[in-house]
Amino acid sequence: MPLERTQESGVRSQNRGPAVHLDKLVKRFGDFVAVDNVSIDVAQGEIFGFLGPNGAGKSTTIRILCGLLAPTSGSATVGGFDVSTQPEDIKKNIGYMSQKFSLYDDLTVQENIEFFGGIYGVSDEKLPERRDYVLKMAGLEGKRSALTRELSGGWKQRLALGCAILHEPPILFLDEPTSGVDPIARRNFWHLIYELSGAGHTVFVTTHYMDEAEYCHRVALMYGGRVIALGSPAELKTSLGAGHLLNLESSNLLGAMAALENKPGILDVAVFGGGLHVKVDDPGAAIPAIYKILQDAGIHVMTLDSITPSMEDVFVGLIEKEEEKKAA
């Protein structure tokens, strides 16, 4: 579904600095620290992924950036405007899609679009053009007078995204936009995000789907309110700490796991899909050693290859490291 470039020429930003800038941002709810000293810069046009388990502080951060919550300390700017002092200016320059589907169920597709058009101040002359663009982008041309509650999850997400970009905001905040949507709809959705980024929108997106992180230009990993890793997916994978990953397939996975655990040169063993992921210091020395150990244990090895870690490996690895730190 290619989009016409010309329609995207409207995306503009007077701001020459980073699209989103967080400086030592802190948010406390009573004793609970939801966001702990977070500093990030997001460049214009970037797709920035915000990863982390539930309760890591992703949504809180996004809410602060959208002007829905006031930070406890630290500062942040969005499109050059300060979140504490200029929330009204920020709201004109962003599009926000919240975690929960939040359009009006009892309004039709077109009515929802027109409502948000009115709220975002899209002029009457411009609204039909924007409406048609959004309908086309979301693929809802044939359903404009359908009640929103009758749409399936994927359509709803696209409509919600459409409503968030009606006013051509330079910056988009998407809070877990694809939760509860089937894989095909998710892929289509990311396709849209790419196009928006290509057209100059900055996209700030949270997710807990690790495969989605691969689509981002850069990701930040959040855990316990803090950013524990920041970089492009490729950078994060290589910086996984000392260690390489081997994929091992065997007919007796549990036996293999028991045999390999706590052996010299082997950092970690974990079940992954139909095989084991084995983390080692030096693959050159480890591969023959593993073969030997398993042979001694009478376990047949089907394959043993060196692989690049997935984001999930990175994620799990980093969090385990954090937890060890906490325990120590």
Partner 1 sequence: MNLRRTRAIFRKEMLHIIRDPRSLVAALLQPLIMLMLFGWALSLDVDHIPAYVYDQSNSPQSRDLINAFQGSRYFSVTEVTSYHAIEQAIDKRQCLMGVAIPPDFAKQLGQKQPTQVQLLLDGSDSNTASIARGYAESIVALYSGQLQAPVQTAMGNSPARVSAEMRVWYNPDLLSQNFIVPGLIAVIVMIIASNLGALTIAREWENGTMEQLLSTPARPSEVAFGKLFAYFVVGFVDMVIALVVGVFVFHVPLKGSVLLLLVSSCLFLFGSLALGILVSASFRTQLLAYQMGSFISFLPAFLLSGFIYSISNMPRVIQFIALFVPARYYMNIARGIFLKGLGVRALWFELLLMVFYCVSVCYFTTRKLRQKVA
Cα Rg for the chain, rounded, in angstroms? 23
Residue 282 to residue 302: CA distance in whole angstroms = 21
As measured in angstroms, the least distance from the Cβ of 237 to partner 1 is: 34
As measured in angstroms, the least distance from the Cβ of 191 to partner 1 is: 23
Q: What are phi and psi of 92, to 5 degrees?
A: -75, -20
As measured in angstroms, the least distance from the Cβ of 227 to partner 1 is: 23
Q: Specify the DSSP class assigned to residue 300.
A: -
Within 139-178, which residues bind partner 1 (CB under 8 A)?
147, 173
As measured in angstroms, the least distance from the Cβ of 311 to partner 1 is: 28
Residue 302 to residue 1: CA distance in whole angstroms = 43
Cβ within 8 Å of residue 122, ≥6 positions away:
130, 166, 167
Nearer to partner 1, 68 or 257 (CB): 68
Measured in whole angstroms, how far is the alpha carbon of residue 238 from the centre of its chain?
19
* Interface pick for partner 1 out of 2, 16, 54, 100 (rule CB under 8 A): 100
Residue 43 to residue 80: CA distance in whole angstroms = 12
* Interface pick for partner 1 out of 114, 176, 212, 313 (rule CB under 8 A): 114
Q: Please tell me whether residue 70 binds partner 1 under the rule CB under 8 A.
A: yes
Q: Please tell me whether residue 121 binds partner 1 under the rule CB under 8 A.
A: yes
**Residue 53 CB neighbour total at 10 angstroms:** 13
Q: Please tell me whether residue 101 binds partner 1 under the rule CB under 8 A.
A: yes
Q: Please tell me whether residue 106 binds partner 1 under the rule CB under 8 A.
A: yes
What mask of x and - would describe binding to partner 1 in positions 28 to 67, judged by CB under 8 A?
-----------------------------------x--xx
Q: What is the dihedral of CA 75, 78, 82, 86, to 10 degrees?
A: -140
Site of interaction with partner 1 (CB under 8 A)? 63, 66-70, 87-88, 91-92, 94, 96-107, 111, 114-121, 147, 173
